């Protein structure tokens, strides 16, 4: 199917916006993951994927440069193999860098289902490309959202394919607990107990903006339909304006 004359793929500014956002966010995600696992812990941490069973292997690089395989205290939780570390405080009670491996999706949902989330990510990439192909050149906010979602999907897909786990490092509100002695399901008392990465942020922001765009589009369609019904029924359109005072 050939794109329409006003299609975004025929409009270079739209392509640059879409791909530019994707490249910048994706690069930021991968670089931040690499730098964090190099510098946040006392010694650099390197990951690999076992050729035997595909599980995540965690290595610690010692002073001699040799990679020492860390024991997997719990085979179902690769993060347990990361050596204990304090992390690096960036903003007191605001942001700390701490290494974590996530075998689920955003917020750790669906632990140990890497094959499923990898498949979902591939499907998401195809859908995003199709939506951009069919979109109009005037839909700049849509292209921004699509670029964010695509970057987030590719960033975490890369980790799942290469390491069988996603590298996370951002911890919000460290050492800040929920009020009144409350706790999250699972027992955590932290105000925000999830550790995440830039790809997660891109996905959440992109999907959130997409929902707002869809809501505004549907609201505009309902207004236009209502005005059309009023016009066809012979009712005059209201021109009254509210006084500014």
* Catalytic entry in 6, 42, 159, 200: 200
The helix/strand/coil state of 57 is strand
**Structure-token pair, residue 93:** 């009670």
Q: Is residue 118 part of a domain?
A: yes
The pLDDT, as a whole number, for residue 76 is 61
Q: Is residue 209 part of a domain?
A: yes
Q: Is residue 2 part of a domain?
A: no
Q: Is residue 93 part of a domain?
A: yes
The pLDDT, as a whole number, for residue 103 is 76
Q: pTM to 2 decimals?
A: 0.83
Closest Cα partner for 17 from 125, 102, 140, 118?
140
What are the CB-based long-range contacts (under 8 Å, 24+) for 119-123? 121/153, 121/154, 121/156, 121/157, 121/160, 122/157
User: What is the tally of structural domains in the chain?
Assistant: 1
Domain of 81 in residue numbering reads as 8-228
Whether 42 sits among the annotated catalytic residues: the reply is no
d(CA 20, CA 203): 16
**Structure-token pair, residue 53:** 């069973």
Contact between 56 and 161 under an 8 Å Cβ cutoff? The reply is no
Which residues, listed in sequence order, are joined to residue 91 by a DSSP beta bridge?
Answer: 95
Whether 29 sits among the annotated catalytic residues: the reply is no
The pLDDT, as a whole number, for residue 52 is 85
Q: Is residue 129 part of a domain?
A: yes
User: What is the DSSP track for 72-140?
Assistant: -SSTT-GGGGSPP---EEEETTTEEEEEEEESSSGGG-STT-HHHHHHHHHHHHHHHHHHHHHSBTT-H
The pLDDT, as a whole number, for residue 125 is 87
Q: Is residue 142 part of a domain?
A: yes
The helix/strand/coil state of 4 is coil
Contact between 36 and 169 under an 8 Å Cβ cutoff? The reply is yes
pLDDT per residue as tens, the chain (245 positions): 666 767 888 889 999 999 999 999 999 999 999 999 999 999 999 999 888 878 888 999 999 999 999 886 665 666 677 888 989 999 999 999 999 998 765 544 545 556 676 787 788 889 998 899 888 988 999 999 999 999 999 999 999 889 988 999 999 999 999 999 899 887 889 999 889 999 999 999 999 999 999 898 888 888 888 888 888 776 555 544 444 44
Q: Is residue 188 part of a domain?
A: yes
Q: Which residues of 208-228 are buried (b: 16+ CB within 10 A; e: fewer)?
A: ebbeeeeeeeeeeeeeeeeee
Q: Is residue 171 part of a domain?
A: yes
Sign of CA dihedral 43, 38, 98, 53: negative
The pLDDT, as a whole number, for residue 110 is 47
Closest Cα partner for 150 from 8, 16, 3, 18?
18
**Structure-token pair, residue 244:** 């500014």
Rg of the chain over all Cα atoms, to the nearest angstrom: 23
The pLDDT, as a whole number, for residue 155 is 95
Question: CB-hemisphere CA count at 13 Å for 119?
Answer: 4
* Catalytic entry in 6, 29, 159, 168: 168
């Amino acid at each position: 199917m050939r794109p329409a004359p006003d299609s975004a793929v025929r409009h270079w500014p739209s392509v640059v916006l879409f791909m530019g956002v994707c490249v910048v966010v994706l690069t930021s995600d991968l670089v931040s993951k690499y730098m964090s696992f190099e510098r946040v812990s006392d010694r650099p941490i390197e990951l690999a994927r076992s050729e035997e069973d595909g599980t995540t292997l965690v290595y610690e690089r010692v002073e001699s440069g040799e990679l020492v395989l860390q024991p997997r205290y719990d085979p179902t939780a690769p993060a347990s193999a990361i050596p204990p570390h304090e992390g690096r405080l960036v903003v007191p009670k605001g942001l700390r860098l701490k290494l974590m491996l996530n075998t689920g999706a955003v917020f750790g949902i669906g632990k140990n289902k890497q094959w499923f989330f990898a498949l979902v990510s591939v499907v998401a990439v195809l859908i995003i490309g199709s939506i951009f192909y069919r979109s109009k050149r005037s839909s700049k906010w849509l292209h921004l959202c699509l670029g964010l979602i695509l970057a987030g999907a590719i960033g975490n897909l890369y980790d799942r394919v290469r390491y069988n786990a996603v590298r996370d490092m951002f911890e919000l509100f460290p050492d800040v607990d929920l009020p009144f002695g409350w706790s999250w399901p699972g027992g955590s008392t932290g105000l925000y107990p999830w550790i995440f990465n830039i790809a997660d942020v891109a996905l959440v922001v992109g999907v959130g903006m997409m929902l707002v765009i869809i809501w505004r589009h549907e609201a505009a369609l309902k207004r236009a339909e209502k005005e059309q019904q009023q016009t066809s029924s012979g009712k005059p359109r209201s021109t009254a304006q509210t006084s500014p005072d």
